[in-house]
Structure 1
């Protein structure tokens, strides 16, 4: 029972909460927890007071309306999503020039592109678990700050190993913000608009992609951006790295200064007064200028308490406390693979691995592949011996590489618009499966074609279609798990995706010089596998968040 709940409220709900065996649970019975009881909605208060009814989360969201607050939320969360895209993809754009200054082989470039994904793998589940326990907003502020600060510091790293380490730490921050942003955003959305709005949020990844490509195009080829910083020759690509950290830092400030905590999380934590305050803020912004008064109501908060983590510091040895924390931290993962959640978790695991290996393995190498077809031909036709550590052809920088990267990034737009328009009517499952299958065919044709223009066209098709799969996966992932598992689950699956992304980049780095066909055809096969496995997921169209 919420510690904020008045005596009358407690008396009204005590019979319902004590009769746990007769209440519908949002999880299987073996998980032993009731998220919230929908049957408690609209209970009249016996002790009087300001609220004469009690609402579930979905009912309270509907009462708060839809309008200005949600569009402001979309902009703030979207900018954070774009900042993650910039931080991840900036490495791919600096490879053609940074390889000269850092003396990189193709294998080194594979490690560099993999480093941020290794950090995301480490940070994904950790931040997701903390977000489920401590709140979405706090974790977003910290993770975005880690991302921006260490991303900027990487710009002055004089050695490859230090640059690699700083990119890894930056990746830890990215690993927290990506899954938590979608959990946080979805928990403000009314049910009938959730699919379209999450799709709109995912569209900002394209904006970040375009921003990264545009910055690379404007900054890296320019000689004015090069100067000496002590003993460090500060090349234009280093300035590009600094600029790529700005979106993350500004996002951290926006969340820290402007945004409230998720009302769904507050209800699950039993913090009724704080949740009502957030709903009031939503209502006042959404109804601004309409002269409507905020309807007074109470909330059906969870009977669970979230004070477990504090208990570990009060008893036992350091080893016992550490064991307790680890056991508690692994509990969400156990719940994900138990009962009715088991099959969907295994299915999502396969899909995340297939799409992450394929998308990031191919996407991070697009600028390098385009550089290899500068004089015409397909990406795998101009395979040569491994490039030397110092390749003088890096300078002057060929701007066509960045122009093509910008075009491919912009080709996401049709897929994003299509997703926004049809997500709520079609559902994420069908879009996910179809887009993965079409993406598979486009990658196969990239290998088959023989001209530079055909390679660019099919790369644009891959970009525009694969983004539909990512958007659908963002929607489905938030709707398949209850609130106390949502961020942990998304963090876990993004961690799985990072393992796949690391594998994909290492495979490309090892084989792109000697046998380019193997990674390209492997990408096509994995996308096809993911598309077929997606048919096993349950339909979640316009479902209520639990």
Structure 2
């Protein structure tokens, strides 16, 4: 234990000595925390907008880049693939080099690569720049929750993280709103040396990077996380941050902050590189292996499968949602099913030549997307109010059953307005993602809880990537199969949730998990 480099302990100055958590409580709660939450929320909004951007860009870019439905599926999966491949790396880098440094470095590069992607002349160049932009974007996705939580004291931490998370829902409203402003514009600027025409969809890519640009500017003036500074042995820097928080929150001079000496645990973050890599891999193995042994194995499989299904259905179909809505809005024929409209948009004329490529976006597509984004936000709030009185298990079973049946019904409905409503309800299964995380926390012992949540969320992102590609194939070959398959998956998830324990039965205990009560953070 290090006490700010000093060991004296007199009765007079004992009150000026505090642990980090005690020191955080003394900084109070106020303007500093709210401003930090808003900055973090802005970064989170940038993450969700970058992740879902392809769902609006690809329908508008299909003619310029000569995209098939399968190619659009692969491009839409790029952000999810980048998160899957790099989350562990960014988490490790943030633990060794600092949260603020990693986010500043990654967001600036992500914005530059996104701008370059907007000038891409062909699908390969566009895919490469989009992948690397998403790879650096994923750093903020992996680190921002930690950075937000470590600036808030224990009394208000959950609340502030929840408020910051609400910006994800706000992003699903802002994205179609910005698309509505930009995509209907009619301009085409020829850039001869790239052999491209700079059209509105290219501008949309740049516009959706603005939250990252603003977030980077604000982050430049923000300090490093006090928790990281403390754990790295940079005690004086940590105290400087705490004094600033105290001064802003309590409107008092910095030198009146009562904590003069900080008790903190110092971890040596400077082992040799080869040993560090071995330790990282060993830690990952030790935290993951017990999840695949009894008695935890059944719950690991259940939580991973349910999250896979939820992410696959919500994110997989959301990528194609603007395409589906746009096809319905542009359909002038008689009442017919969603898949019949999509099939008609891909037919060829009697001479066997392909119809003229049409990449126009109907404005009603954006309007409906905004409405559905607002419903998403409302659903998250409603579930939050009901969960304490009804219980997570009941909500999961009922909501997943209803949304799964609505997914199948959306394909069968001949009335287009009814089909859109059923399809929108089908997407509401995404509101169960947070509930499944809460269930995972209750099911697993403290020692393996964080890794269990991490593993289930990783499987969810695999589901997002797989579904966006699979749905693209189905829409081109057998449209109805996508609704039947994913509707059935959600119903199976509901049936699996019937096996969950009742309220607050606590984590599974066994000799395997009782040997230590120490919390082990995931890498």
Q: Same fold (TM over 0.5)?
A: yes
Indicate if the aligned counterparts of 2:235 and 2:262 stay in contact, CA closer than 8 A: yes
Which residue of 2 is the match for residue 373 of structure 1? Answer: 328
Partner of 2:222: 259
Shift of 1:188: 2.8
Aligned equivalent of 2:413: 449
Structure 2 residue aligned with 1:382: 341
Alpha-carbon spacing, 1:474–1:52, altered in 2? closer, same or farther (3 Å)? same
Q: Are the equivalent residues in 1 in contact too, given 2:23–2:259 (CA < 8 A)?
A: no
Contact 1:192/1:424, CA 8 A, preserved across alignment = no
Match of 2:165 in 1: 202
CA contact (8 A) 1:336 1:345 kept: no
Contact 1:8/1:46, CA 8 A, preserved across alignment: no
Alignment equivalent of 1:229, drawn from 169, 174, 191: 191
**Structure 2 residue 484 is the aligned partner of structure 1 residue 521:** yes
Task: Give the RMSD, CA atoms, in angstroms.
Answer: 3.8
Q: 2:105 aligns with which of 128, 142, 152?
A: 142
SS in 1 for 2:208: helix
Superposed CA offset, 1:225-263 (max 9, x none): 3221223111211111111122222212222x2222222
Residue 282 of structure 1: aligned partner: 245
Q: CA deviation at 1:121?
A: 1.6
- 1:74 and 1:481 map into 2 onto residues whose CA distance is 30
For residues 334 and 208 of structure 1, the distance between their equivalents in structure 2, rounded to whole angstroms, comes to 36
- Aligned twin of 1:7: 6
Match of 2:280 in 1: 329
SS of the residue aligned with 1:101?
A: coil
Change (3 A) 1:384 1:338: closer
Deviation at 1:510, TM superposition (A): 0.9
Match of 1:108 in 2: 71
Q: Distance in 2 between matches of 1:260 and 1:490?
A: 29
Three-state SS of the structure 1 residue aligned to 2:159 is helix
Residue 515 (structure 2) aligns with: none
What SS is found at the alignment partner of 1:228? strand
Given the superposition, is the C-alpha separation of residues 382 and 340 from structure 1 closer, same or farther in structure 2, using an over 3 Å criterion? closer
After superposition, the C-alpha distances for 1:477-520 in whole angstroms (9 at most, x for unaligned) are 8998989996x887765543332211111111111122223222
Q: Is residue 119–residue 175 contact of structure 1 (8 Å, CA) maintained in 2? A: yes
- Aligned counterpart, 1:241: 205
In structure 2, the residue matched to 1:176 is: 139
TM-score by length of structure 2 reads 0.81
Q: 2:315 aligns to what?
A: 360
The separation in 2 between residues aligned to 1:106 and 1:470, in whole angstroms, is: 28
* Aligned residue among 27, 40, 52 for 1:77: 40
| Larger mean Cα displacement after TM superposition, 265-274 or 107-116 | 265-274
Which of these residues, 103, 106, 130, is aligned with residue 167 of structure 1?
130
Q: Note the alpha carbon deviations across 1:90-117, whole angstroms, 9 max, x for none.
A: 2111222211111111111111111222
Is residue 440 of structure 1 aligned with residue 404 of structure 2?
yes
The question of whether the paired residues in 2 share the 8 Å contact of 1:149 and 1:249 is answered with no
CA contact (8 A) 2:45 2:171 kept: yes
Shift of residue 306 of structure 1?
1.9
The answer on whether the counterparts of 2:19 and 2:262 sit within 8 Å (CA) in structure 1 is yes
**Would the alpha carbon gap of residues 346 and 277 (structure 1) be closer, same or farther in structure 2, given more than 3 Å must change?**
farther
Partners of 2:207 and 2:104 in 1: CA distance = 19
In structure 1, what is the Cα distance between the partners aligned to 2:502 and 2:117?
Answer: 41
Hey, what's the Cα distance between the residues in 2 that align with 1:149 and 1:390? 37
**TM norm structure 1:** 0.78
The answer as to 2:49 corresponding to 1:86 is yes
Aligned length: 491
For residues 197 and 325 of structure 1, do their structure 2 counterparts lie closer, same or farther at Cα, with a shift above 3 Å needed? same
Instruction: State the partner residue of 1:318.
Output: none
> Post-superposition shift, 1:64?
2.2
